[in-house]
Chain A
Amino acid sequence: MIENSFNRRDFLKVLGWGGATVALSGCGNTSVEDGREYVTSYVETADYIIPSIGTYFNSTCAQCDAGCGIMGRVREGRVLKLEGNPDSPINSGKMCGLGQAGVQAHYNPDRVREPLLRNGDKGEAITWEKALQLVSEKVASANPGSVAFLTGGVSGHVKVLLKNYLDAIGSDRHYVYEAVAPSVVRAANKKAYGVEMPRLRLDRAKVVVSFGADFLGTWVSPVHFSRQYAKFRKGVNGERGVLVQVESKMTITGANADRWLAIRPGTEGILALGLVNALSAAGLTVPAEVAAAVKDYTLDRVSNDTGVSVEHIGKLTALLKDRSPSLVIAGGAAEGYAHGSQNAAAVALLNQVLGNVGKTVEAPASMPFPQMAPITGNRSSLQALNDSIAQDGVKVLFNCGANPIYSAPASMNMKESLKKVPFKVAFAHYMDETAMEADLVLPLNSSMEDWGTVVPEYFAEGAQLNIQQPLMEKLHPGTLGMGDVLLALLKQRRPAEYNGYEDYYAYLKNAMVAIKGALGGENEDDDVFWDSVLSQGVVKLTSSSNALVSSASAAGLQLPPPAAEDGTYPLRLIPAVTPNMRDGRHANEPWLQESPDPLTTIVWDSWVEMHPKTAAKLGVVEGDIVEVASKNGAIKGQVYVYSGIHPDVISVPLGYGHEAMGRYSKGVGANAFKILDPVFDQQTGELAMYETRVKVTKAGKRVIVVKDEGPAGGNQSGRRIALRMASGKVNLAEEV
């Protein structure tokens, strides 16, 4: 340290002057680079393509099944960025981060680029012609009943073609498997309301009580619900909507709640019935049989069972009674138990008692073209396939959009099981775990390169048909769309019917034009109609609504008492669905790996979340490596401690721990799917995701958790950075 009157300020002053003038004199130099680069020029182009000005084309996002409309900004023949399509009622021009990463799925360096045929441990590139020839041979030589398709959720014209192909080969075996689909809630809704997914009007509710439904993050249609949430918070006449989230592990929706109630895992139904009882006691008119059925759910008992304080139950009761209409939603937390259907039924009953049916729980629009309506499925579908394979009932298996070797619990032994299938074809974007075991891998177009129609699982308003059109030429000449492949296969089976279509585009255009009357284009010229459909990206369909029934009843509701603790496996594992990773299919998109988890801010790795009490009991601190072991396997992870989780529970995010797929996903984190216990919802047979019991032990050296929150861990240290005030002090109606 220089010690005298010469100080740093003088030094910098001088240096600054010298530096600045030297830099400025660089004005005279030039870094013009004549003749070294090529100019982009076209051979023939449409008038509206102007170099350096982006053209926007509408399409549909395929990153999850919400079916948001997107616009791709295309410059010089490449799609650069995606925005929301303002004309789509689902997302109204907005997009989530997962959707933005669609371009990374498209430009991903690890995409499969050509058909690969297994030769020992390797995949040899073959032509599509040979590949399809092989497929036809294998299918022809197998008993039709032994040919099966395993897909993720499908809808639109690909669904139609798939069914037609299965018909053509004489098989009806289509299994649909989505690892994180809300199947139990759907079944419960069907019983309670007559429809699998009623239309939820958050924007009309004054209070929303969500039993673990992460509608802002991952549940059903997050962007759409976020749009509604914005209106909900602004409220009617400035009366801001109140959100209460009840769950054992905080989701992003929980992080935005006015009150987050940590609940003992599995007791959501008890709380719901307790609220019915409390509402009845508070004077709300409740049908006699319901009141009788819930009379044992007293405040004390409910509080004892659930861990939610009497005070909060009281306040929640008052809130629900005073502010109507409200909306109660059952989500992943409620449904994840062996009695998940019962939990969901109890929540539906609460909605009914509150009079919300018809106000904030509405009939959804029906799809006027049911053959294109989306089908979904969950683990029970996969189990049925597995059972059949065990009995040698599957000789040829096609897989498209499902990765069961990765996402099925280890207890299902998918890898071993699939080895029994003599010929497996995987339609894939990546060489993921299931594709690695296939005999033939057929590379798919990305959603940015494909034609298609998509019917969203959740209609925002009326029924709609989303259009998918290529946003640029195919990146890799060796990929094909699923529609193209099915059409090629169908041409071999039913040439008379399908040979007239040059490709899937021709088929799709023809099929759409054929129903143009129902799509609002009866008087339009075919080509004009088609162009306008592509230009809009979303076609609104006229449809009717099935009536909603209000048949939730207390009869037959059998809620078990809170589960006893298992001595050997004292904690419960919550495998969390995070907005970035979901079921792991996008783990190879680096923006998503680098996007911090909203609750823990952790990046590029998975973690084991626990409450400070739990950590104290286990003698661990943040960064300790622990082993999380269930009866069915064990994984390791870094500890993260925070108070957004119930002490009886630990949570590990899903979507990590890939063993194949690509450079950004392989070996990153641990796969929580594997260790899930084979416990099932008693009514639907679906995997009860929250029933896994684990023990946690220290297993390795402490690491520094790589996260975004900094050493203060979310503490503002007294500075006024993120401010919060009581809602009563503000009149939102006066705001702009």
Chain B
Amino acid sequence: MSITNLLQNWSDFRQQHPSDERPHQEYKWAMSIDLDLCTGCNACSVACYAENNLPAVGKEKFSHGHSHHWLRIERYWHNEDREYADQGAQFLPMMCQQCEAAPCETVCPVGATNHTADGLNSQVYNRCVGSRYCNANCPYKARYFNWYDYPTTADVWPAPMEQQLNPDVTVRGKGVMEKCTFCVQRLTVAKSNARTEGRSVHDGEVQTACQQACPTGAISFGNLIDPESRVAKQWEKQQVKLNHDKQAKDAVHDGDKLRGYRILENLRTYPSVMYLEQLREGAI
């Protein structure tokens, strides 16, 4: 790691955004979430806690905003001034969007967060010094800070609860940022198995914990580069392109027939998660 190396990387950081000249090789992980199927049940969130060694922080710390739900269900109402919330709620699973031009990557003072070759936003715990600038910059507020040393905090993992911890995921100590990883530990295993067999990962061979739990199958996850994968077909169908900050279909006035969109796309983060708009029946 020389100074020239550093300068080059820094310059890359600042100018990096996905482009057709530098396509992903072999894997680009992406997700698609159907908001019309999401019932807001929170199964995905609890599954994430189980898979990724998330601490349950308790009431007081939760009230301070120190909860650790890497995947949270945001619940919105759209009642205007009606007497009742008579069209139900809008549930939105929100997690790290693994932005291709992640605002968090450029501001880490120690370079603990970078972009991987397969399109994920990586977080390296042992490099993180806890400046918390990354979450300040994240428009989705998808990053979480370990304000306390949870492994040694009473009642977080009292014996024998620590036996449930997943050895494939670091148990974070105090002072580091963490966030959704698209279950990178599962992806690594799947890629390794596929490589040993001399092939790429098939669609559906690896599932993130949230996707695997979701009772309605609202979450779709896979390799955007594989044209046969469900997620690639969905992005294609919805005419959402990864490396565009404005989709061509949105410019068309009558482009109402497609439900796919990305959140806060205009901030040019190029997120890897596409959402499908919730629907409501007009006849009732």
Contact = CB atoms under 8 A, between A and B. Distances in A.
Interface of A: 12, 15-17, 19-21, 23-25, 27, 52, 75-76, 78-84, 91, 93-97, 99-101, 103-104, 107-109, 216-217, 222-223, 226-227, 229-230, 233, 240, 242, 244-245, 250, 252-262, 312, 315-316, 318-319, 475, 579-580, 590-596, 598-599, 601, 603-605, 642-644, 663-664, 668, 704, 706, 708-709, 713-716, 719-731, 734-736
B163 A222 contact: no
B57 interface: yes
B216 A227 contact: yes
Given A591-B50, A594-B69, 12 more contacts: A20-B6, A97-B41, A240-B281, A259-B87, A259-B284, A592-B46, A593-B56, A596-B42, A603-B59, A708-B69, A723-B278, A725-B277
B215 A96 contact: yes
Interface string B269-284: 0000001111111111
B201 interface: no
B79 to A, nearest CB: 6
B264 interface: yes
A97 B45 contact: yes
Contact of B43 (A25, A95, A599, A644): A95
A216 B46 contact: no
A319 B284 contact: yes
B14 to A, nearest CB: 11
Contacts of B129: 19, 23
Interface of B: 1, 3, 6, 10, 35-37, 39-43, 45-47, 49-51, 56-59, 62-63, 67, 69, 72-79, 82-92, 109-111, 127, 129, 155, 158-161, 163-167, 209, 212-218, 230, 233-234, 237, 256-259, 261, 263-264, 275-284
Contacts of B282: 726-728
Contacts of A253: 39
Nearest to B77: A714
A724 B217 CA distance: 19
A722 B261 CA distance: 10
Contact of A23 (B10, B47, B127, B166): B127
Contacts of B127: 23
A100 B62 contact: no
16 contacts: A15-B109, A95-B47, A100-B49, A107-B163, A226-B41, A252-B39, A258-B281, A260-B85, A318-B283, A708-B73, A709-B75, A721-B264, A722-B35, A723-B261, A725-B277, A730-B258
A736 B237 contact: yes
A96 B43 CA distance: 5
Contact of A19 (B62, B88, B109): B109
Most buried by B among A80, A103, A709, A720: A80
A84 B46 contact: no
A226 B63 contact: no
B86 A261 contact: yes
A20 B109 contact: yes
B88 A256 contact: yes
Nearest to B231: A736
Given A604-B59, A735-B237, A94 B279 contact: no
B256 A598 contact: no
Contacts of B213: 83-84, 94-97, 100
B127 to A, nearest CB: 6
Contacts of A17: 6
Given A250-B85, A259-B87, A262-B86, A100 B47 contact: yes
Contacts of B283: 242, 315, 318-319
A642 B50 contact: no
Contacts of A715: 76-77
A233 B41 contact: no
A727 B83 CA distance: 23
B86 A598 contact: no
Nearest to A24: B1
Contact of B284 (A83, A244, A729): A244
Nearest to A712: B76
Nearest to B283: A319
B140 to A, nearest CB: 9
B85 A725 contact: no
Contacts of A642: 77, 85
B279 A103 contact: no
Contacts of B158: 109, 663
A736 B233 contact: yes
B75 A601 contact: yes
A604 B62 contact: yes
Given A100-B50, A604-B59, A240 B39 contact: no
B259 A598 contact: no
B41 A107 contact: no
B256 A729 contact: yes
Contacts of A97: 41-43, 45-47, 213
Contacts of A250: 85, 88
A725 B50 CA distance: 34
Given A643-B79, A727-B279, A96 B41 contact: yes
B271 to A, nearest CB: 12
The 6 closest A-B pairs by CB, nearest first: A97-B46, A226-B215, A604-B59, A590-B56, A258-B281, A727-B279
Contacts of A79: 164
Given A258-B281, A259-B87, A109 B160 contact: yes
Given A598-B91, A663-B155, A24 B284 contact: no
Given A708-B67, A721-B264, A256 B212 contact: no
B46 to A, nearest CB: 3
A109 B159 contact: yes
B115 to A, nearest CB: 16
A16 B6 CA distance: 11
A599 B75 CA distance: 8
Contacts of A261: 86
B228 to A, nearest CB: 11
A101 B46 contact: yes
A180 B33 CA distance: 33
A722 B278 contact: yes
Contact of A24 (B6, B50, B90, B256): B6
A21 B111 CA distance: 10
Nearest to A12: B109
B43 A255 contact: no
A664 B156 CA distance: 10
B211 to A, nearest CB: 10
B215 A591 contact: no
A661 B89 CA distance: 34
A723 to B, nearest CB: 4
A708 B68 CA distance: 11
